[in-house]
Amino acid sequence: MTKTNLAGIGVFLLVVFVAVPMMIAVSGRWDFYYTLTSVALLSIGSAGVWLTFYIGRINIGQGAYALMGGYVSAVLMTKVGVSFWLTLPLAGLFCAVISVAIGLPILRLRGVYFAMITLVLTEVTRLTALALPVTNGAKGITSIPLPGALTVFGVPLIPDFATIENPKLAFYLLAVTLMVLTYAALWRIVNSRLGHLCRSLQQNEELASSIGVNTAHLRLLAYAISSFFGGIAGAVFVAISQSIYPSSFVVTDSVNFMLYCFVGGLGFVMGPMLGTFLLYFGWDLLSVAREYQLLIYSAAMIALMLVLPNGVLSLFDRREGPK
């Protein structure tokens, strides 16, 4: 990693952890915290989708894993009494295990075949949530408690969110911290031997298999990590809204997770994060167009993909390979 990259990372961390809270405090617009928290969590989910693109698969089912993760966290907190901080990794692990079971048969498929099956997953998950007694069907799960205190060996690390004067700031810091850790992990995966092997799947699976690469294992591992990120994002969304319903994540959300990756740039690790930011705020800005909002948004998306097929980040770096 170059000094320029380190300097850029340092500036980014200062902006999200120091500058943004200071500007919001000065402006008094506390509602911005919820917006930025949503962007951070959506970027975590889209990071997982990007990883499946990295192995040459189009994933349009991340909303399913966000919904699964949300329900796992909600059920454990409300019906079992498990701490939110423990449900967070458990939600991710549950989604990873389910993704392995689902991925075993479908990851053999490529292109539109895999994409269409993943597109169905979100609707299947929604219908399952409607049918299962533990999820309360259409009524959903409400009155979910705020995250309690987090202590390690008796040392308090995070206070009870219910006792914090401004829980919106606490959720923002939580979401941004998870986002930073997610993209740090994603960057490390891509720039490791595992990442190089995964990239070989994107280029030519038959060639990779012929030189001894366990392609089936790599596909499952990448898909499991992708789903883990989705489950984590869903669990935090539930903690913020303190409720979850079968319609909390729908097919549209899964499609958006994919679009974030396209807009930011599939060849860049930070692409999903930038794409999430641009599309989320772009949609809000177009609200002034009222009934023409969707039309203008769709036209802008098509134009952007035609002009910048490699994403917005390709404007700043023409080198090949993930950055």
Give the separation between CA 255 and CA 260, rounded to whole angstroms.
9
Give the separation between CA 247 and CA 47, rounded to whole angstroms.
22
Q: Would residue 220 be called left, alpha or beta, if left means φ above 0 and alpha means ψ between -120 and 50 degrees? A: alpha
> Can you say how many angstroms the Cα of residue 124 is from the centroid of all Cα atoms in its chain?
19
Task: Please tell me the predicted confidence (pLDDT) of residue 206.
Answer: 84
First to last CA, the chain: 10
Strands 150-152 vs 155-158: parallel, antiparallel or unpaired: antiparallel
pLDDT at 214 over 90: no
Rg, Å, the chain Cα set:
20
Residue type, 146: L
Q: For residue 102, what pLDDT band results from cuts at 50, 70 and 90?
A: very high
Give the separation between CA 21 and CA 25, rounded to whole angstroms.
6
Give the separation between CA 152 and CA 203, rounded to whole angstroms.
45
Task: Please tell me the predicted confidence (pLDDT) of residue 250.
Answer: 94
pLDDT at 318 over 60: no
More confident residue, 204 or 20: 20
pLDDT at 69 over 50: yes
pTM (2 d.p.): 0.93
Q: Which residues of 135-167 are buried (b: 16+ CB within 10 A; e: fewer)?
A: bbeeebbeebebbbebeeeeeeebeebeeeeeb
Average pLDDT over residues 52-60: 93
Roughly what angle, to the nearest 10 degrees, separates helices 111-131 and 84-106?
130
pLDDT at 229 over 70: yes
Mean of all residue pLDDT scores within the chain: 91
Task: Please tell me the predicted confidence (pLDDT) of residue 323.
Answer: 59
> Can you say how many angstroms the Cα of residue 40 is from the centroid of all Cα atoms in its chain?
8
DSSP string, 67-111: HHHHHHHHHIIIII---HHHHHHHHHHHHHHHHHHHHHHHTT--H
Q: State pLDDT tens for residues 230-240.
A: 999 999 999 99
Q: In terms of C-beta distances under 8 Å and separation of at least 24 residues, what long-range contacts does 198-204 make, across chains too? A: 198/51, 198/54, 198/55, 198/222, 199/54, 199/321, 199/322, 201/55, 201/56, 202/53, 202/54, 202/55, 202/56, 203/56
pLDDT at 187 over 70: yes
Q: State pLDDT tens for residues 263-301.
A: 999 989 999 999 999 999 988 888 888 888 889 988 988
Q: State pLDDT tens for residues 246-262.
A: 999 999 999 999 999 99
Q: Exposure of 185 by Cβ count < 10 A (0-12 exposed, 13-18 middle, 19+ buried)? A: middle
Q: State pLDDT tens for residues 120-174.
A: 999 999 999 999 999 999 999 999 999 999 888 878 888 999 898 889 999 999 9
Q: For residue 320, what pLDDT band results from cuts at 50, 70 and 90?
A: very low
